[in-house]
Amino acid sequence: MGEGRPARRHRRRARGAVVDPAARDRRGPGRGGAGEAGALRSAKSRGFGSLLRLDPRLRPRPYSLIPSPRRGPGRAACWVRANRGVINMTDSSQARGGEPRLLLPFLQPFYDFVIPLAWPIIRCAVGLTLFVHGWGKIDRVVAFGDSLAKRGYVPGQGLGWAIFATELIGGLCIAAGLFTRFWAAAAAIELGVITFDIYLPNGFAWTKRGYEYTLMWGAVLFAVALRGGGPWSLDRKLGKEL
């Protein structure tokens, strides 16, 4: 006997039904399943529209091209799976940011651990050095301001207190990485004035009260002002900096 209209309509709907990969897995390979592979073959036979309605894990993953910084924007050094973020680099040195290969490769884990600590060490060294100089002025800020006034710096007392705060408070803030750029820039300006206005006529050597020491620390503070707190800083913890 022929099928009625409801039966034929039901069969047509069943042909276009979405395949459930989990259901096919439960049915097993002997019942048209074969897991995800069977569902994928069945969906491909029905067309691309059915494929898109499958489990997202079965969809084809597109590739995107990333230009190499060495070869220029027109060429590619690596391919990235766009939805996984897995980079397959052709050159291991490029994966480390273009750094040269190590002569002793077994030191790579050690460098990976200590390199992030390099900037905090510099920051603490210059910040704590400033703090010691500020602590030495804690009981003679007024006398220090008078000496500045005699040298022609006006207002002497105001500048004396500003330098004292920059060295004492700013030194601790630089070491901790808090408002790093502001305090480092202020200290760099202070050391720049000391270098070129006070110690420059004495020559370079610090043993003859030259500008060697102040120039070096001024340059380091200028670099800190450019870079900011960096890793392991309170600025990074707060998520904001100048």
Span 172-231, pLDDT tens digits? 999 999 999 999 999 999 999 999 999 999 999 988 889 999 999 999 999 999 999 998
- Based on the fold, state whether residues 87 and 191 are members of the same structural domain: no
- Min mean pLDDT across 61-65, 78-82, 164-168 is at 78-82
Q: How far is CA 20 from CA 17, 25, 28, 31, 117, in A?
A: 9, 9, 13, 14, 52
- Based on the fold, state whether residues 161 and 74 are members of the same structural domain: no
In a domain, 125, yes or no: yes
In a domain, 152, yes or no: yes
In a domain, 107, yes or no: no
Q: Which residues pair with residue 87 across a beta bridge?
A: 80
In a domain, 90, yes or no: yes
- Based on the fold, state whether residues 118 and 178 are members of the same structural domain: yes
Asked if residues 145 and 88 have their Cβ atoms less than 8 Å apart, the reply is no
> How far apart, in whole angstroms, are the C-alpha atoms of residue 102 and residue 93?
9
- Based on the fold, state whether residues 54 and 134 are members of the same structural domain: no
Domain boundaries, position 37: 16-58
Asked if residues 183 and 170 have their Cβ atoms less than 8 Å apart, the reply is yes
DSSP conformation class of 229: S
- Based on the fold, state whether residues 232 and 149 are members of the same structural domain: yes
- Based on the fold, state whether residues 124 and 74 are members of the same structural domain: no
> How far apart, in whole angstroms, are the C-alpha atoms of residue 179 and residue 235?
7
- Based on the fold, state whether residues 129 and 69 are members of the same structural domain: no
In a domain, 184, yes or no: yes
In a domain, 104, yes or no: no
Q: H or E segment at 190?
A: helix 180-193
DSSP conformation class of 231: S
In a domain, 28, yes or no: yes
> Looking at residue 65, what is its pLDDT?
43
pTM metric for this prediction? 0.59
- Based on the fold, state whether residues 34 and 151 are members of the same structural domain: no
Q: Which two tokens stand for residue 198?
A: 């006070």
> Looking at residue 40, what is its pLDDT?
53
Which SS3 state, helix, strand or coil, does residue 66 take?
strand
- Based on the fold, state whether residues 72 and 158 are members of the same structural domain: no
Q: What are 108-117's contacts with CB under 8 Å, separation 24+? A: 116/231, 116/232, 117/232
- Based on the fold, state whether residues 149 and 92 are members of the same structural domain: no
> How far apart, in whole angstroms, are the C-alpha atoms of residue 170 and residue 15?
75
Count of structural domains within the chain: 3
- Based on the fold, state whether residues 72 and 47 are members of the same structural domain: no
- Based on the fold, state whether residues 183 and 127 are members of the same structural domain: yes
In a domain, 5, yes or no: no
Question: Over the stretch 23-73, which tens digit does the pLDDT of each residue have?
Answer: 444 444 444 445 555 655 655 555 544 444 545 555 545 444 444 444 444
Which SS3 state, helix, strand or coil, does residue 184 take?
helix
Asked if residues 166 and 187 have their Cβ atoms less than 8 Å apart, the reply is yes
